[in-house]
Chains A and B, each alone.
Chain A
C-alpha cells in the first residue's frame, strides 16, 4: 500500500483544485463510473462568497496558461448547502480546498467542514501564486504555512487527511514540506501554479506542461529528504508519461488541473490506465497511453 492509501486516499489520480468546475461539469466526461470513487479537490472555498477577478482571467502562453481567477466561489455556507451534497450523492471522494485571509479563517473553515457529512479530507491552499492580490494569508516563510496547517489540524479529525498544497519553489520546498509535516499535514501537494505575469504585467500563476519539470524537481527533492512523507505531484500532468514521472520520483499520487481544461476526459483516461490491477494493490500497470500524441 502506498503511504497515501494507508492515509485514506486511494489516488493515484486526483482532480486538481479549481479545474473541475463544481464537479457537475466534469461528470459527463468522467468515464463509465462517473464521479464514483473519484478523488476530487474542490476549487478553493472561502468563508464568504467571492465573485472572482475581472477578465481576462486565463490566457494562453506557450506550454500552458496564466491565470488569476480570484477564487470565485459561493462561500462556505452555500457550498455546504448545495455543491457538497451534490458531490457526495454523485459518489465523489471530496477533498475540500480551503483558503483564508487569516489563520482564524482557516481554522473556522476546518471546524465547520469537520462536521459536514461526506468531507473525505481537506486540502489547504497555502501556496497560491498571488496571495496578496487574492487577499489571502501570505506565506513568506515555512513557519507561516506550518502554523496554518497546525491550526487546521487542531480543528479537523485526525483520522481524515489534511493535505498541504505548496507552491513549487525549489529553494524552499524541502523546508516547507518538513514544517507542514511536523505541523500535522498527512501529505503535501507539490505544487500550485507558479508565480508569473500576464502579458500586460498583471500578477498571475503559470500552469500546464511548462511547469511540470519544476514541480517534478520539487517532488524528487522532498521525497529524497523526507521519504516517509507522502507527496502528491501537481503540475502539467496530461498523459501517462507525465503522471508516471511524478510517481517514479516518489509521489504517491498526481493531480490533474490544466489538462482537464484542454481535454475534460483526461482524468478518466488516466484513472483507467493507472487503476490498481485487481488483487495486487495500487500501482501502475505497464499499459500504453491510449492517446500518446495529445495536441499541446
Chain B
C-alpha cells in the first residue's frame, strides 16, 4: 500500500527542540486538552507524529500524540495534545496554566502511511490515544478516501469527542466498555464486524496493545492492511537511547527489535510480535 517512508527523519523534515508555551487549557471529561505553541513543530507535523515534552524535576521525557495542528491562530501556529493525568508527569502537565513554558521536541516518529488511492479506511482509537486519528481522518478525506471512525473508551469520561470528526468521516461509531454511551463493548468484541461493515482496505489503530492487536488481526482476516500506533515507554523519544524496544518481524522475515520512537511508533500491524511486547 501506502508509501511515505522516512518522513520526519533525516534532513527532509528535521525535528526541532523548542520552548513551547501553553496558550489554552481545557478540561474535557477525564482529560485535559492543551493548546501549545512550539515554533516549527506544527509546520512539520504529519498525522501519527508525537512530541516529547520535558516535565519539571524529571529526566525522562513524556510522549504525547499530536491531536490537532492549526496553521495560524492569534498565537501563530499551534498544536493540541490530550493529557490523561495518571502518573507524576502527566499530572504535572495537566496542571500547567496558560502562559507556562514547556520544552517540546517534535514532531517525532514515523507517521501513518497514507494510501495512494482513494480507498476505504477504518480508523479505530481508544481513550486519549484516539487523538492522532483525527488529523489522519482529515488527510484521508482530502485524498478522497471513505473514512469510518471508531472511538472507544472504558467509559464516557475517557471518550474523545468525535463531534469534529463528523466532517471528515463517513461514519462514526462510539464504543464504551460500560455502555455509558454508544454501543457497549470493546474493540476486540466488534473488530471483525467493524472491518466488514466499513469494507476497509486499510485499518488504522491507536490505543492500548490489546486494541491494536485485535484491529490488526481483524484486518488480516479480512485481507486488509493495517497500521498501528504502538505506545511503549519512550525515555527520550528522539531515537538516542535505544530504551524503547519494539519487537517486530522485518520485511525480510527476520525478527528484530526496533526503536518504537524512531522506527515506529506507527508500524504495520502484521509486523508486530505481540507476544514479545
On A, residues with C-beta under 8 Å from B are 18-22, 24-29, 43, 51-60, 63-65, 67, 69, 72, 208-209, 258, 260-265, 295-296
Contacts and interface: CB of A to CB of B under 8 A. Distances in A.
B58 A296 contact: yes
A199 to B, nearest CB: 13
B59 A261 contact: yes
A265 B233 contact: no
B105 to A, nearest CB: 7
A69 B242 contact: yes
B10 A262 contact: no
B59 A60 contact: yes
Interface of B: 9-11, 14-17, 54-61, 103, 105, 232-233, 235-236, 238-245, 256-257, 262
A27 B11 contact: yes
Contact of A295 (B16, B54, B240): B54
A60 B257 contact: no
Nearest to B255: A51
A56 B243 CA distance: 7
Chain B interface secondary structure, helix, strand, loop or mixed? Answer: loop
**Top 4 A-B pairs, shortest CB-CB distance:** A58-B243, A25-B239, A28-B14, A261-B236
Contacts of A264: 17, 105, 236, 238, 240
Contacts, number: 110
Contacts of B262: 21, 25
10 contacts: A21-B238, A25-B9, A27-B11, A29-B17, A52-B257, A57-B242, A59-B235, A72-B257, A261-B236, A264-B236
B235 A55 contact: no
Contact of A21 (B54, B242, B257): B242
Contacts of A265: 17
B245 A19 contact: no
Contacts of B236: 260-262, 264
Contacts of A63: 59
Contact of B103 (A21, A27, A72, A263): A263
B60 A69 contact: no
B56 A295 contact: yes
Contacts of A55: 232-233, 243-245
B60 A262 contact: yes
B109 to A, nearest CB: 11
Contacts of A209: 59
Contact of A60 (B58, B244, B245): B58
Nearest to B16: A28
B57 A18 contact: no
